[in-house]
Homo-oligomer: A and B are copies of this chain.
Amino acid sequence: MTDRFTFKLIATDGDARRGEVSMPRGVVRTPAFMPVGTAGTVKAMYLDQVRALGSDIILGNTYHLMLRPGAERVGRLGGLHEFARWPYPILTDSGGFQVMSLSQLRKLTEHGVTFRSHIDGAPYELTPERSIEIQGLLDSDIQMQLDECVALPAKPKDIERSMELSLRWAERCKIAFGDQRGKAMFGIVQGGDIADLRIRSAQALKAMDLKGYAVGGLAVGEPQAVMLDMLEATCPEMPVDKPRYLMGVGTPDDILKSVARGIDMFDCVMPTRAGRHSLAYTRRGKINLRNARHADDPRPLDEESDCPAARDYSRAYLHHLVKSQESLGAMLLTWNNLAYYQSLMQDIRHAIEARDFVARSAAITEEWARGDLPPL
């Protein structure tokens, strides 16, 4: 443990990095996957389970929490860790992305963004300063700068304008955040699908000497190849001695390929959302439990898994639960999915330490491609 926020690189294998982000509330082993706890809960999971799967850190969404239950309220109640009973590191986003995707009647200016809540229509303002204030009230360990994220495809002029605005907001967030010893404020590289803009953004953020750097505005509908191109352009411009976080990504395959390009941290709703939509991530690929082929199948999702949800329940039972819309179906599949994601991250970390990442990555990919067990 430490009273400072630090990053240590433990091993590298090609561009893949094995590291540790340390802060007073705990150590995050990287490459790390952060389960998404949108509104102070990882949906359909007890946080004890999330922890037991090897999650060192979870993500909270500033937009959702500022609307309900409200940042000041969470602050009065002792912060998000106390509120949700998660005493380990928490990363919060800035709220900007969800303002753009969920809220109504948005108005964006240099100063910030005003919008109306998608819950009750109440008016709100989010500025770089207010975003950092909210994340402080939540007592977040890793706070994100407010940025603007344009939807792709977009005109180069709009992407550039947005990237420049995000840089000015990064400066304001840095000032608002100030000097908080055990915490960090990360900047976010923007620039859409234009490598030159990504490079300019990364260089400008690097000059601000922040404690960590994120890549934002990807996995928003563009082909995977475009995302990987952007990572290849961006990662070399990011400091080696700071953690790198690819926001909102992604599929297990996205994660493998992004680790290969030097990314350390990930978050994504996929494993939790898929768990509520009858889908199971496994080492044999993605399995749809609604499919009738599972109705009489006594086999578990993965007999070799350590996770009870994967190992102990029959596919027939899981099929029955999802067909009947029983909450236990979502509970078990979410559990399975987060277990799979965290076992994948552990596998990745071991492979990098053993300098075996390329071979291991190929073997994992090959097992996905072989697909699920043949029907009985």
Taking Cβ atoms with an 8 Å cutoff, the residues of A that contact B are 39-41, 43-46, 68-69, 73, 76-78, 83-85, 295-296, 298, 312-314, 316-317, 319-321, 323-324, 326-328, 330-331
Contacts and interface: CB of A to CB of B under 8 A. Distances in A.
A41 B83 contact: no
B328 A45 contact: yes
Does more than half of chain A's interface fall in helix, strand or loop, or is it mixed? loop
A43 B316 contact: no
A320 B68 contact: yes
B73 A316 contact: yes
A329 to B, nearest CB: 8
Nearest to A44: B327
B39 A77 contact: no
A43 B326 contact: yes
A326 B47 CA distance: 13
B76 A320 contact: no
A83 B316 contact: yes
Contacts of A319: 69
Contacts of A313: 85
A314 B88 CA distance: 18
Given A77-B296, A313-B85, A320 B39 contact: yes
A227 to B, nearest CB: 31
A69 B326 contact: no
Contact of A73 (B39, B41, B295): B295
A69 to B, nearest CB: 4
18 contacts: A39-B326, A40-B321, A43-B328, A44-B328, A45-B328, A46-B328, A46-B331, A68-B324, A69-B295, A69-B316, A76-B296, A83-B316, A83-B320, A84-B317, A85-B317, A327-B327, A327-B330, A331-B331
A73 B78 CA distance: 51
A38 to B, nearest CB: 9
Given A40-B317, A78-B298, A331-B331, 11 more contacts: A40-B320, A40-B321, A41-B321, A46-B328, A46-B331, A68-B324, A69-B316, A73-B295, A77-B296, A83-B320, A85-B312
Contacts of A83: 314, 316-317, 320
Contact of A77 (B45, B85, B316, B321): B316
Q: Which 8 A-B pairs have the closest CB atoms?
A: A69-B320, A41-B328, A44-B327, A41-B326, A39-B324, A77-B316, A83-B317, A77-B298
Contacts of A76: 296
A89 to B, nearest CB: 19
Contacts of A331: 44, 46, 327, 331
Nearest to A329: B41
A10 to B, nearest CB: 35
Nearest to A317: B83
A20 to B, nearest CB: 29
Nearest to A40: B320
A326 to B, nearest CB: 5
B43 A327 contact: yes
A319 B39 CA distance: 12
